[in-house]
């Protein structure tokens, strides 16, 4: 059932693993959920209708990149990104905070202003303040907006991490003021603190005082090893409000997702399924398959005989191997589609096992399966 308000309902738990539903005017999102990444307003190499057929219920767009191209004016003319890219389901937008880290050589931070960028496209000066970020997300017509934050690179320096919390908290408050009292959409705060429990808890406490519709763990999946990520999640997710969705940004591999679900995370996004598709790497229930390998040259079997989207189950591994070796674009399109389809089937099985109280067995079976 659709709502005219943004809401989250926690349905059940299996230990810390959570089964829930996010309701938005654009549709429901069953959690744990994986969001395919559409940074530039497209999930790379896949038609929007086909993304929908994979049972993806929400995708992610990027504020910084959409601000540069196509820009606010064009997005407003279309009433937002949904109509512009032909996607009628929910959209979550990153705030541009990740680009503060990934494009650090092209920007500087002023806590009182925001992030001051030199455009990587044409060199123009761009000021991305907390207010500007929310304004762009409103032009995109995002169903879930993110506060602007400072996402530091992987570091053990507590001074750097504490400063990022200070900046992010101030920007979070300004983001909420600019967001206003819009009950039909969600606004998520983003916790920082690196791999230190006390800093993470401090950040979470500051954000919960401001009060958001959901909470994200930022500053992870930035180079730390998987065990360290799981450890900090184990130590800190219980400090997050139980009745709000929890989002681990930029994660990840199937085992990353599985381990984070075990620690109580509800939402994920990652470019990995489509990026891997462009390099010939497929995710399947038989494990990862490198289709560049010559052993598939005569393999008549499909990647997944059950996937009939774009007749994917009619293409052999041999044919995909041929497409890769001849540098045909169709190879990346088909493998990317397979990977998004697999990820959504994987999430469906996670949800089913949480509901049935068998998640721990599923976790044990697959936590190292894709290594």
Structural element, H or E, at residue 230: helix 226-236
Contact 247, 216 (CB under 8 A): yes
Which of 14, 94, 149, 304 is labelled catalytic? 94
Please spell the DSSP secondary structure of 15-34, one letter per residue. Answer: TTEEEEEEEETTEEEEESEE
- Residue 182 half-sphere exposure, CB side, CA atoms within 13 Å? 21
What is Dmax (Cα atoms) for the chain? 61
What is the strand order of the sheet 114-118 is part of? 107-110, 114-118, 125-128
94 is catalytic: yes
Minimal CA–CA distance to 100: which of 79, 118, 73, 77?
118
CA distance 341 to 315: 15
Q: Are strands 114-118 and 287-290 parallel, antiparallel or unpaired?
A: unpaired
Going by C-beta distance under 8 Å and a sequence separation of 6 or more, which residues neighbour residue 20?
8, 9, 10, 11, 30, 31, 245, 266
Contact 55, 337 (CB under 8 A): no
Structural element, H or E, at residue 72: helix 72-77
Query: How crowded is residue 143: how many other Cβ atoms within 10 Å of its Cβ?
Result: 24
157 is catalytic: no
Please spell the DSSP secondary structure of 132-191, one letter per residue. Answer: HHHHHHHHHT-SEEE-----PPS---HHHHHHHHHHHHHHHHHHHHHH-S-TTSEEEEEE
Structural element, H or E, at residue 74: helix 72-77
Geometric angle at alpha carbon 140, from 136 and 146, rounded to 5°: 65
- φ/ψ of 111, rounded to 5, equals -55, -30
Which residues face 127 on adjacent strands? 116
Which of 50, 149, 256, 269 is labelled catalytic? 269
Catalytic residue set: 94, 269
């Amino acid at each position: 059932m659709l709502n005219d308000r943004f809401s989250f309902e926690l349905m059940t738990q299996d230990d810390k693993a959570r089964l829930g539903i996010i309701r938005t005017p654009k549709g429901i999102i069953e959690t744990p959920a994986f969001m395919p990444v559409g940074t530039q307003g497209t999930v790379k190499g896949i038609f929007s209708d086909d993304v929908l057929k994979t049972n993806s219920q929400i995708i992610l767009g990027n504020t910084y990149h959409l601000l540069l191209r196509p820009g606010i004016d064009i997005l407003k003319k279309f009433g937002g990104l949904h109509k512009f890219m032909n996607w009628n389901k929910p959209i979550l937008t990153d705030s541009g905070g990740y680009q503060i880290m990934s494009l650090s050589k092209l920007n500087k931070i002023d806590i009182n202003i925001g992030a001051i960028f030199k455009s990587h496209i044409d060199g123009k000066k761009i000021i991305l303040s907390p207010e500007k970020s929310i304004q762009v997300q409103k032009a995109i017509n995002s169903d879930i907006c993110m506060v602007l934050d400072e996402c530091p690179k992987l570091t053990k320096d507590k001074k750097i991490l504490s400063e990022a919390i200070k900046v992010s908290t101030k920007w979070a408050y300004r983001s909420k003021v600019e967001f206003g009292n819009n009950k039909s959409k969600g606004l998520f705060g983003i916790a920082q603190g690196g791999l230190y429990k006390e800093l993470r808890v401090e950040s979470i406490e500051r954000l919960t005082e401001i009060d958001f519709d959901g909470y994200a763990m930022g500053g992870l999946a930035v180079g730390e090893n998987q065990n360290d990520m799981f450890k900090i999640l184990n130590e800190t997710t219980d400090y997050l409000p139980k009745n709000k969705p929890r989002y681990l940004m930029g994660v990840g591999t199937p085992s990353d997702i599985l381990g984070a679900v075990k620690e109580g995370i509800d939402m994920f996004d990652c470019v990995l399924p489509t990026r891997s598709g462009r390099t010939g790497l497929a995710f399947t229930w038989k494990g990862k398959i490198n289709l560049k390998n010559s052993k598939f040259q005569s393999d008549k079997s499909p990647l997944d005989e059950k996937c009939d989207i774009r007749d994917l189950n009619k293409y052999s591994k041999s044919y995909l191997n041929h497409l890769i070796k001849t540098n045909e674009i169709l190879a990346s399109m088909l493998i990317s589609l397979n990977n998004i389809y697999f990820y959504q089937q994987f999430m469906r099985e996670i949800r089913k096992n949480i509901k049935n109280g068998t998640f721990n067995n599923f976790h044990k079976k697959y936590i190292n399966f894709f290594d």
